[in-house]
Structure 1
Amino acid sequence: MRARHLAAALAAAAVALAGCSGDPDPAPSSTSPTPTPSPAITVKGADAALTRAVAKVYAGKTGVTATAHLGTWKRKKVAVVTSGKDVTLAVGPSWKVVGGWWPSLERRASLGKGPRFVLVIGSDARPGEPLKGTRGDTLQIVGIDGKGGGGIIGMARDIWAPMPGGGEAKINAAFAYGGGKGQVETVRAVTGLPIEGYVVTGFGGFQKIVNKSGGLPMKVAEKLVFLGTTTVKKGKQVLSGKSALAYARERKSLPDGDFGRSAHQGDLLLAAAVAARVQGPSVIPKEMTLVSKFAESDRTATEALTFVASMYKVSPGKVGHTVAKGGFGTSSDGQSIVILDDESKQAFVKFKDGRL
């Protein structure tokens, strides 16, 4: 996905987005009795209710000019209001301020309590095929520590894991058994990480998000050919939806097979985070609108908005990336499986603070 739109999915950002992260308290709720909008603040593109909510943040300050950037998440209105380097996050329709950061007021950022984790799932659903009953072939855990750091752990799809409702199978089968909730349950059990929710899309949704956002700029280390039909060249480029999907799916030509494929999927997320930071937080509402159209998530507008915004506070140099893997084995029914190694288990422990 194009970086900024993929970031919105994280938390979604995967994707990506924290029901148990605590409610931010940057300003009084706009649902309480409010005064008439103050002439001391002007919010371009905002209605009276949103202007009142933002005015409370700047209570006592005059001459403030801001701009509202609007969008939707699961049919609920979201807004990012920018004024210089200040960012105010709000959710409608009554417009409650739910987070943000305000250097002009010398106030700390309010984006929920860290660390926070979201699972980004890429279903193997083909274009036009429903997600239900498919497998979660892309499993990337995105974490942030709330202090400018973060991390991404890719989960190899053949890891042997407990399934929702009992029994064991390859980890990617959990999505077929229990949907996004079931897949999160299984990944939590394997990693011990308090993953808060998920964002999931299929092949078709992934390509549409990439194409409608203008492509994903990234540097590809080595040329690859997917199924003999799609070539992704080496070097800096802007990947189309088709090329990005090929990069995320190819494994047979990679020396480490599925482990390398999972690493490629993490590469896409890292490229997304970098480009998102360049674009700036004003694009978040547009991103969220696009992603919610072509992806599914269990996150509310408040949870998604604050998690996505948190990605803009992360320094790319403080984001580690690894793949959970291990040795090969055989299940009781003859399947080739991956048995997690100690190094991967130690990575889960290290990641509990939201940073690798």
Structure 2
Amino acid sequence: MTPHRRRPARTRPRLVTGVAAASALALLAGCSAGDEGSGASSGSGSSSGTTSSGASSASPSSPVATTDIGDAPEPLVEAVARRYGGEDVEGSTHLGRWRGQRVAVVTAEQDVTLAIESTTRRSWKVVGGWWPSLGETEGAEDLGGRRHVLVLGSDAREGQDPTRTRADAIQLLGLDGDGGAGLMGFARDLWVPIPGHGTGKLNSALTLGGPDAEVGAVEDVSGIDVDGYVLTGFEGFESIVDELGGLSFVAPFDMDSDLAGGKISAGRHTLDGGEALAWARERKSLPGGDLDRSGNQGLLLAAAAVQARAEGPARLPRALSILDEHTESDLSAEEMLLFSASFYRVSPTRVGREVAGGSPATRSGQSVILLDDDARSGFADFRDGRIGG
């Protein structure tokens, strides 16, 4: 077994408990409330129409130009002005938080600038974005390239540690850095090596070794390097969906589940948190059991991505603030902002979706799933961040 390559340890301000199911990361979209953080206006969620006091106060080495991006912190105005290199810019600022650090999305017509605030001094840094107004060279997209992030839904109930409870949902999101993407669900009962804990069901890795072990198990079985994780639990998932205003979803079939909120007819709905959680959890009424459930979780993620594109990147900081209250993650503010924003640049025709499964078997007295050749082929296809040609 190839040793798991550990990511550098991160210092996190806190462990957020009471967190909820697998759709959290892609639910970065449908919020309609105002942005969080000082410097953002209330109401619509954007800060526009007011010239910042820092609009022409850039440092001597910075270009002097008209920079009107709403009621933004002065250091952020200066950072945006430097990115535009002397060109005038007029737009809106949208603020939020991720892991105790402020993040910003500045929109100016078709331009989007992504920035984070330093945690040690009051300064801002532009970390990415896209700027068509600056032309083909200066306006080139900068979003960090190829990445894979593991989205985990913990089976934790009230009072349980979500980082040490079985994984109820395991979904890997990928970006190829060139407009393509993929979403791969993993059957919970896959029989796989678990770093430091022998062999077992994939969902048990979270119980045995926490999120790092779950990431390591996914890496070992798939051969795909995972850049980080986002972990949720039942209660938090419901809160995320509800606080974002619900999830627009087209159910492809009638669901008749005994779970609360599990009576969902085929057709278009705006799911509340309980209904979305029931859709993500239901297994017993599905002909394919756990494999079909993993596929259904992928449908929720795909619906959230469509909703995100419709809402636009201005809503992203507010959504990150909501997720920050209900998730655990090892992604930094810069990584999370870039990864999330990248989905607004993905072509819908270049996104594939699969479930990694296999054949039923028995191991150590347990009903398990053994990987088949289709799953292995899917892993090879997904290593570049995209599923499909």
TM-score by length of 1: 0.89
Residue 97 of structure 2 aligns with an amino acid whose one-letter code is T
Question: What corresponds to 2:291 in structure 1?
Answer: 259
Residues 4 and 273 of structure 1 are in contact (CA less than 8 Å); yes or no, is this contact kept in structure 2?
no
Matches within 5 A, 1:1-356: 6-7=25-26, 35=61, 38-62=64-88, 64-93=89-118, 94-106=123-135, 107-114=139-146, 116-227=147-258, 229=260, 230-331=262-363, 333-356=364-387
How far does residue 133 in structure 1 lie from its aligned partner after superposition?
1.9
| Distance in 1 (alpha carbons) for counterparts of 2:213 and 2:383 | 21
- CA distance in 2 between partners of 1:302 and 1:273 (Å): 20
Rounded to whole Å, the distance in 1 between the matches of 2:259 and 2:232 is: 24
Report the alpha carbon displacement of residue 231 of structure 1 after superposing the two structures with TM. 0.9
Secondary structure in structure 2 of the residue aligned to 1:312 = helix
- Does the CA-based 8 Å contact 2:21-2:152 persist in structure 1? no
Counting aligned pairs with the same residue, the percent is: 46
Write out per-residue CA displacement over residues 223-245 of structure 1, whole angstroms, 9 at most, x where no aligned residue.
Answer: 11222643122110001111101
Given that residues 54 and 97 in structure 1 are in contact (C-alpha distance below 8 angstroms), is that contact kept between their aligned partners in structure 2? yes
* Paired residues, number: 332
Residues 248 and 8 of structure 1, relative CA distance in 2, 3 Å threshold: closer
Task: Assess if the C-alpha contact under 8 Å between 1:159 and 1:339 holds in 2.
Answer: yes
Other structure's SS at 2:335 match = helix
CA drift at 1:276: 0.4
RMSD across aligned C-alpha pairs, in angstroms?
2.1
| Contact 2:22/2:152, CA 8 A, preserved across alignment | no
Query: Is the contact made by 2:27 and 2:304 (CA closer than 8 Å) also made in structure 1?
Result: no
Aligned counterparts of 1:141 and 1:9: Cα–Cα separation in 2: 16
SS in 2 for 1:166: coil
Higher relative contact order (CA 8 A, sep 6+): 1
| 8 Å Cα contact 2:21-2:280 kept in structure 1 | no
- Deviation per CA, 1:72-126: give whole Å up to 9, x if none: 0011000000111000000004110000000000221001122x10000000112
Q: Please report how far the alpha carbon of residue 136 of structure 1 lies from its aligned counterpart in structure 2 after TM superposition.
A: 1.1
Q: Deviations over 1:163-195 (max 9, x none)?
A: 131311100011111211111111000000111
Asked if 2 retains the 8 angstrom alpha-carbon contact of 1:143 and 1:355, the reply is yes
Give the whole-Å Cα distance in 2 for the aligned partners of 1:228 and 1:280: 33
Q: Which amino acid aligns with 2:87?
A: K
Other structure's SS at 2:284 match: coil
SS at structure 2 position matched to 1:109: coil
Structure 1 residue 269: Cα displacement? 0.6
Distance in structure 1 (CA, Å) of the matches to 2:103 and 2:259 = 43
Shift in alpha-carbon separation, 1:5–1:177, aligned structure 2, 3 A: closer
In 1, the alpha carbon distance for the partners of 2:342 and 2:295 equals 23
Name the aligned partner's letter for residue 283 of structure 1.
R
Question: Distance between the aligned counterparts of 1:3 and 1:335, measured in 2?
Answer: 24
- Return the letter of the residue paired with 1:66: G
**Secondary structure, counterpart of 2:225 in structure 1:** coil
**Gap regions ≥5 residues in structure 2:** 1-19, 30-57
Partner SS for 1:222: coil
Quickly say closer, same or farther: Cα 1:216–1:171, change in 2 above 3 A. Answer: same
